[in-house]
Chain A
Amino acid sequence: MADAKTFNLSCPVPRVADDRIVLAHGGGGRLTHQLIEKIFIPAFANEALDQRHDGAVVALNGARLAFTTDSFVVRPLIFPGGNIGDLAVNGTVNDLAMCGARPLYLSAGFILEEGLEMETLRTVVTSMREAAVKANVKLVTGDTKVVDKGKGDGIFVNTSGIGIIERIPGLSKEAKPGAPQIGPAAVQPGDVVIISGDLGRHGISILSVREGLEFESPILSDCANVWPAVEALLNAGIDVHCLRDLTRGGLATTLNEIASDRYVCIKLEEALIPVDEIVQSACEILGLDPLYVANEGRFAVFVPEAQAAAAVDLLRKVEVSQGATRVGRVEWTPERTVVLQSRIGGNRVVDMLTGEQLPRIC
């Protein structure tokens, strides 16, 4: 050994600059954001895109329409509680719902891999139809491409959707440019953060299949259409400031985006955040944090303190959000930060993930 008294202090040189796409660019964390900020926003910047919301809200002949798109590349294609088909419908329906828009029409683009079993495609398409019927949306246009074997992962699906914004309590119905609307820009200190149910089911259901983990009872994906929950809030006149679904990157990433965009602090209480026992156990085994695990039927809603209790009551009456609960609030400082008070009473910052959430060694 180097003499114990003079440790040989060594350390690595920087890794090469990011000159290629890595998986983490699609993980929803910091690298995804860099990609959006450095590549896409500069190329396409416009008023609708600058809203940085799950979908764009555009004015058209006095109506306000929400427009969104999403691509689905899940493996396995069929997982406990759903498959890529209902995921693709609900994912886009939910993005529209997060704009406060009633979902109306969807498109579907399929990229199929040579050799895919027709039965699998049938299963997926059947699920899409069922999900569309349930969400009361119509699949009105589509496209199909087939790629060589090995160039795709069975099925990739893209869905785009159009919805209409019928009512936003407290806000002008008129479609004026720059009129206030549901979105991160309306979040303000004093708002209460409510989530619509327990966290982590979708991500863990997928991982449990991928990793061959078995639990006492299978963890089902929470994949669902959340528009009925949003509609209940809007119909009751709740002053909804912001809606965000908790998909890729989970609650932690979503809240970081909002805290960062709005220069506010979001304070969470760990003890209030519902996570199913089996999901929590799976996260412990895999070394994952449920705050960062993806959901496909959960959203966060920001409302003024005075309406928080009413909003929770309303949500709990709707099936898809019966587990709704308040988990935190928005404050002024420390700005651009999400802070979590742990179960034991300590504080920590909940940061945005740098890359994918990687399982730890021990």
Chain B
Amino acid sequence: MKFLSEYRDQKAAKQFAAAIREKVTRPWTIMEICGGQTHTIVKSGLEDLLPKDITLVHGPGCPVCVTPIELIDKAVAIAKRPDAIFCSFGDMLRVPGSSKSLYDVKAEGGDVRIVYSPLDALRLAKQNPDKQVVFFAVGFETTAPANAMAAWQADHDRVENFSLLVSHVLVPPAMEALLSSENCVVQGFLAAGHVCTVMGFDEYVPIAEKYKVPIVVTGFEPLDLLEGIHMTVSQLEEGRHEVENQYVRAVRREGNRPAQKTLMEVFEISPRQWRGLGEIPASGFQLRGRFQKYDANRRFPFSGEPARESPECISGLILQGIKKPHECGAFAVKCTPENPLGAPMVSSEGACAAYYHYGRRQNVQPELSGTARR
């Protein structure tokens, strides 16, 4: 198959792994930003191929993990309304809010639907004029253009019973926040390829320069990641700190200009609360100007109890790469995918869920130490 099996080729993978081993002379810690990359790393057992000196830490690029609890509570409150059809991408459904998840609301009779595109939600709004159709617009720069397009289209078609509950976050401010933390352990970044497909990668140049950290725009297939790691390690070993592009088949320096134009027309940059990380200035999008009429936040004033967070969960430390999931006392004991204490235990992209499914068995079998070893 074109563009799939080629990037999962064992021979090529071994060549990359050998090249990385040859390059490495000392320990390095590299963070992959995106949850999609974490997913591939775990799914392909990629860390088994890497030398022990390379530690991969999993970044905050999991939309499910960083959407703040207040917003989940708000989503739950809206979804419970009898006049609402609440639409979301699938993996947001199980994320626990203060008292329940969207899944719970669905089980209690709420009209919660999984959609693959915000435009599907817009279509639902047109088909159900007597209902309020709300789309949970979460994610990074990757999903933002489609959500912007939905608002634009709703405006164009004068659809009034449609709105977006927006929780869009941006990668570069989160990277800066991580790098400026005194606990920062990250020495090099694999930037999220799909984010850069939209935004390009010029905005990473000042970060690489300021923090003297190599940043390699990297794709999502196993070979992409191995090549990205090789490029990052090469920079680290050679004392360089540049922005390089591994994902040349999808990413241009300037990104997708028409998508950026739509983004800027519909959204403006705003401060955002990150679950596990706290508020980061200028780190998200909110609807601007005439599109604010599609803001579910304004349409459905929410006056619930203040959100309650579990004191036991250390997802903040995990999202910064400071602690590993199995170093958490609640991990696999009180916190499991069935009963997650924190969002990283929910999504298949979340570091804790990935460790739960893979790493927790390392006590049983040392040869399966892959992820957990590091």
Contacts and interface: CB of A to CB of B under 8 A. Distances in A.
A171 interface: no
Nearest to A4: B180
B342 interface: yes
Contact of A361 (B89, B275, B365): B89
Given A11-B316, A286-B116, A344-B49, A351 B357 contact: yes
A98 B186 CA distance: 52
Contacts of A280: 1, 4
B111 interface: no
B-side interface mostly:
mixed
B194 A362 contact: yes
From A31, A333, A340, A349, residue with most partner B Cβ within 10 Å = A349
A7 B278 contact: yes
A109 interface: no
Given A342-B43, A348-B370, A281 B92 contact: no
B337 interface: yes
A2 B106 CA distance: 35
A23 B100 CA distance: 15
Interface residues of B, number: 97
Nearest to A333: B365
Contact of A22 (B1, B107, B367): B107
Nearest to B271: A1
B10 A343 contact: yes
Contact of A11 (B1, B91, B181, B313): B313
B47 to A, nearest CB: 7
Interface in B194-230: 194, 222-223, 226
Interface residues of A, number: 56
A8 B43 contact: no
A334 B364 contact: yes
A343 B69 contact: no
A141 interface: no
Contacts of A140: none
Nearest to B280: A1
A339 B47 CA distance: 15
B115 to A, nearest CB: 9
A341 B49 CA distance: 12
B277 A8 contact: yes
B57 interface: no
A345 B48 contact: yes
A12 B98 contact: yes
B368 A349 contact: yes
B74 interface: no
B361 to A, nearest CB: 6
A16 B103 CA distance: 12
B138 A9 contact: no
Interface stretch (B139-147, B154-162, B253-261, B286-294): B139-147
Contacts of A22: 103-104, 106-107
Contacts of A349: 357-358, 361, 368
B341 A348 contact: no
Contact of B139 (A8, A21, A271, A361): A361
B235 interface: no
Interface string A15-42: 1111011111000001100100000000
Given A20-B108, A334-B364, A361-B63, A354 B370 contact: no
Interface string A314-350: 0000000000000000000111010111111111110
Interface in B34-78: 34-36, 39, 42-49, 63-64, 68-69, 72
Nearest to B279: A1
Contacts of A344: 8-10, 13-14, 44-46, 49, 222-223, 226
B110 interface: no
B193 to A, nearest CB: 11
Contacts of B223: 344
A92 to B, nearest CB: 29
A31 B99 CA distance: 20
Contact of B45 (A18, A337, A348): A348
A358 B280 contact: no
Contacts of A34: 338
B177 interface: yes
Interface in A29-80: 30-31, 34
B143 A11 contact: no
16 contacts: A1-B280, A5-B181, A9-B276, A10-B275, A14-B96, A15-B104, A16-B104, A284-B4, A345-B49, A346-B49, A347-B45, A348-B44, A348-B45, A348-B358, A348-B370, A351-B356
Interface of A: 1-2, 4-5, 7-18, 20-24, 30-31, 34, 211, 271, 277, 280-281, 284, 286-287, 289, 333-335, 337, 339-349, 351, 354-355, 358-362
Interface of B: 1, 4-5, 8-10, 13-14, 34-36, 39, 42-49, 63-64, 68-69, 72, 89-101, 103-104, 106-108, 114, 116, 138-140, 142-143, 176-177, 180-182, 194, 222-223, 226, 271, 275-281, 308-310, 312-317, 320, 334, 337-343, 347-349, 356-358, 361, 364-365, 367-368, 370
> Which 5 pairs, one residue from A and one from B, show the smallest C-beta to C-beta distance?
A346-B45, A11-B313, A8-B278, A9-B316, A358-B90
Given A12-B341, A16-B100, 4 more contacts: A14-B310, A284-B4, A348-B358, A359-B90
